[in-house]
Structures are given as structure tokens and as C-alpha cells.
Amino acid sequence: MNTPRRAWFHALAFAAVLFLLQAGGDGVRTALRFSRQALGQGEWWRLLSGHVVHLGWTHTLLNIAGVLLCCALAPWLFNSRVWFRIVALALGVGMLLWWLSPGVSLYVGFSGVLYGLLVLGLLPQARHGDGLSALALLATVLWMAWQWLAGPSSAEEKLIGGHIIGIAHIYGFTLGLIGAVSALMWRRRVESH
């Protein structure tokens, strides 16, 4: 059973990982970021590790705030399996960036994975009539669509210290949606037997 205390433990533990990696500075970021050139030389860990390093402190703190907001909105998601979910989403987003977005040569940040976590956590709750979850999910979709169609704002990019790779948000959201729908179908199948 996942208690609120356990949910917050997992969320804060992950937030601490992001914070400590940022404290490692430029050397850590360079060693772990998604780099198409380094991946081409066999450094495959970067498909995963690029999501836990950031452009700077503002970028890191915004993503930590996103993790904590996600925990507040969907605490059930932050059980011991949240680590598996994070790894699966990060690898998925990393592989999609590698395969489908050849123009992305460098990438850092947790936001793509965060979009996936949000849909994984909010969609089941919205489906069960939680109005706040439905509203938060709608806001997430609208923000993602706005960034994709209108492009990221220069003020936002200035705030985080670099370019926003909006396609990573779409990849993460899509993977989260696939995961949420698959879980729903699995539950229905189990319950029907």
C-alpha cells in the first residue's frame, strides 16, 4: 500500500538526485547529457542519463517543482515502481530522440519524462471523475500543444538558460499515454477473467 508518506519519500528522493547532479556542475552535465556524437561512439547510457542533468539551477528547480507537483496531484504514482517508470520513460524519450529527431544533437532535462509521469498519474484519476486531475491534464496538453505549435517563448528559454526541445515533451506525453491506456486495458482484461 502506498501511503502519502511513502509517496513523498520517493518524490523527495528523486528530487534530491536531480539536485545533487546539478551540484556536480558542468563536468557532470557534460558527462551525462544526451549527445548524439557520444551516443554514436557507443555511450548508450546517455539515453537515460541525459534526463537527470539540466542546463542550470533554474532548469533543475523547475523540474524538481514539477516532480513535487506531480506527487501532490497523483501520489499513488510515487510508489516503489516510480523508479521503474522514470527509467522506462527516460529510455523511451531518449530512444525516440535518437531515432526520430536527428536534428537534436544535445539534450538535457527531465521535462520530457515529467510529461509522461503527469499523464500516467492524471489520466486514471480523471477517468474516475477527479475534476482537478482532468483540469491539470487538460492544462498540460494545452501547454504542450502551445509550445509545439507556437514554439517556446524566448523568455522561458532565457529563464532556463537554453533551448527548449518541445518534441521531448511530446515523446514523453505519448509514452505516458501509451502506458496509461495499456494499464487500463490490462486491468479490464484481468477483471473480466
pLDDT of residue 3: 86
Mean pLDDT of successive 10-residue stretches along the chain, which has 193 residues: 89 98 98 98 98 98 98 96 97 98 98 97 96 96 91 92 95 97 89 81
Q: Are 68 and 11 in contact (CB under 8 A)?
A: yes
Cell for 68? 513535487
In this structure, the dihedral spanned by the alpha carbons of residues 13, 33, 143 and 121, taken in order and rounded to 10 degrees, is -40
Is residue 74 within 8 Å of residue 122, measured between CB atoms? yes
